[in-house]
Amino acid sequence: MSHPWTLAEAEHKPLQLATAQRAGFIVPATLITNRVEDARAFAVQHGPIIYKPLRSTSYVDPNGDLCTIWTTLVDPAELDETVNHTAHLFQAYVTKHADLRVTVVGERVFCVQIDSDLLDWRADYDRLTYRVVDPPSGLGERCMTYLRCCDLRFGAFDFALTEDGPVFLECNPNGQWGWLEDQTGLPIARAVADLLLEDSS
């Protein structure tokens, strides 16, 4: 639905965070660094903190199983010189009571509340429950502003739902949505088909 070069650019986490602020979202305090002293200072100022990869990353464990890196709480005592090897993304931990997955297809907004006891709900789909909800006031409009800034036609947005409202976590410009339709009955596939038909007319 979006140009491949646009998709590649929109995957860039620093760009996502800057664009989210421009679109009016609440964004957690964030540090991208390869300096351990900066990471330690950030943990003191904003702790507790979490770690998340700068881009989608997978690896094979010693058993030959394909693994990935989930969002993880950071123990400041474990921040050592290995931080210096590459850039890392640290964020202030967000106290949430649920997650929101907001799938935007063109001008159509589909909002699902995901309930679990997980920091990163992707780690175990068997522990999730789903509920279709109306997007919080203004959220759909801000999502579409974000997509226009990135020249995207589609976005799968993730938010932490807090007492103060939704907090932006990321936007996957090519994110999965099929399982949400299976779980909730939302007509996302029809919206995707309609958008593609618009482009071909």
pLDDT digits over 18-56, tens only?
Answer: 999 999 999 999 999 999 999 999 999 999 999 998 876
Q: Are the CB atoms for 122 and 85 separated by under 8 Å?
A: no
Report d(CA 96, CA 119) in Å as an integer.
Answer: 9
> Average pLDDT of the chain?
93
CATH topology of domain 29-93: Dna Ligase; domain 1 (3.30.1490)
Q: Are the CB atoms for 152 and 16 separated by under 8 Å?
A: no
Confidence of residue 148 (pLDDT cuts 50, 70, 90): very high
**Helix orientation angle between 139-150 and 13-22, rounded to the nearest 10 degrees:** 130
How much is the pTM? 0.92
Architecture, CATH, for domain 1-27+94-201: 2-Layer Sandwich (3.30)
Report d(CA 45, CA 91) in Å as an integer.
Answer: 11
Report d(CA 96, CA 72) in Å as an integer.
Answer: 15
* Domain boundaries defined on the chain: 1-27+94-201, 29-93
